[in-house]
Amino acid sequence: MAHPALSFTDHRPWVLPERPWVLEMNWDDLLFLHWPVSAAALQERLPRGLEVDTFDGAAWVGVVPFFMRMRFRGLPPLPGGHRFPELNLRSYVRHGDR
């Protein structure tokens, strides 16, 4: 059964999936680091169709180190493979109205 908070979807432009979840993923021990960068310099590196999203006139690049925990529905965690380090390098972009 889904958490009651998931029934509030007015703010979402898309519907929730109707099928049950297959994979549980948790992020532990996160650190969010962000730096302002030139929007023009970042735009040059984006695929066609994406546009840099800015805040106060700057684009932002983030580095997020964390540990990922995961397991498949109905199964116990896989020994030695259910918790591992991950590093995300991200920026913020728009595509059309999203």
Query: Would you say residue 57 lies in a domain?
Result: yes
Structure tokens at 29: 């021990």
Integer Cα distance of 13 and 51 in angstroms: 19
pLDDT for the residue 79: 87
Query: Would you say residue 17 lies in a domain?
Result: no
Digit-by-digit pLDDT tens for the chain (98 residues) are 567 887 788 888 877 788 888 999 999 999 999 999 999 999 999 999 999 999 988 999 999 999 999 999 999 988 888 899 999 999 999 998 77
Q: What is the DSSP letter of 8?
A: -
pLDDT for the residue 54: 95
Are 13 and 20 in contact by the 8 Å Cβ rule? The answer is: no
Query: Would you say residue 9 lies in a domain?
Result: no
Query: Would you say residue 59 lies in a domain?
Result: yes
Are 66 and 90 in contact by the 8 Å Cβ rule? The answer is: no
- Rg of the chain in Å (alpha carbons): 18
Give the C-alpha distances (Å, rounded to integers) separating 85 from 28, 64, 68, 73, 77: 9, 11, 6, 21, 16
The CA-CA-CA angle for residues 57, 59, 63, to 5°, reads 145
pLDDT for the residue 16: 77
The count of domains in the chain is 1
pLDDT for the residue 11: 85
Query: Would you say residue 10 lies in a domain?
Result: no
Query: Would you say residue 86 lies in a domain?
Result: yes
Query: Would you say residue 7 lies in a domain?
Result: no
Domain range enclosing 54 = 30-98
Integer Cα distance of 62 and 53 in angstroms: 13
pLDDT for the residue 1: 54
Query: Would you say residue 21 lies in a domain?
Result: no
